[in-house]
Amino acid sequence: MARFGLPPKGHINNMKQHVPVPVTVGKYLISPLIHVLEGGWFACSVSIRSGSGSATTDRVLRLTRLFADPLAAADHARSEGLQWIGAS
């Protein structure tokens, strides 16, 4: 199992200031999800929602890269969600 060094200090506190913002593209709502892991690393997922009411579909993709910066994790999740729906 790979070992990771510690990310730069201060990123966990900065995460509270930079909440990932969902973006709407056509009928889809792309929402980056950031998770703090032990050691201060950040993992990300992305929610891809479409439809409304009882016809709502929400797919959540769990991504495997780890990031030292929460903004980089959010950007990666957003770009993966956009790629999944075929947006350029």
pTM: 0.77
Q: 39 is in which domain, residue-wise? A: 17-85
Is 72 within a domain?
yes
Is 3 within a domain?
no
Q: What is the pLDDT of residue 88?
A: 62
Is 55 within a domain?
yes
Are the beta carbons of 77 and 55 closer than 8 angstroms? no
- 20 band by pLDDT with thresholds 50, 70 and 90: confident
Q: Locate 33 and state its tokens.
A: 């999800």
Is 73 within a domain?
yes
Name which residue leads in pLDDT, 78 or 38. 78
DSSP state of 68: S
β-bridge mates for residue 66, sequence order: 43
Q: How many domains does the chain divide into?
A: 1
pLDDT tens per residue across span 33-68: 999 998 899 999 999 999 988 999 999 999 999 999
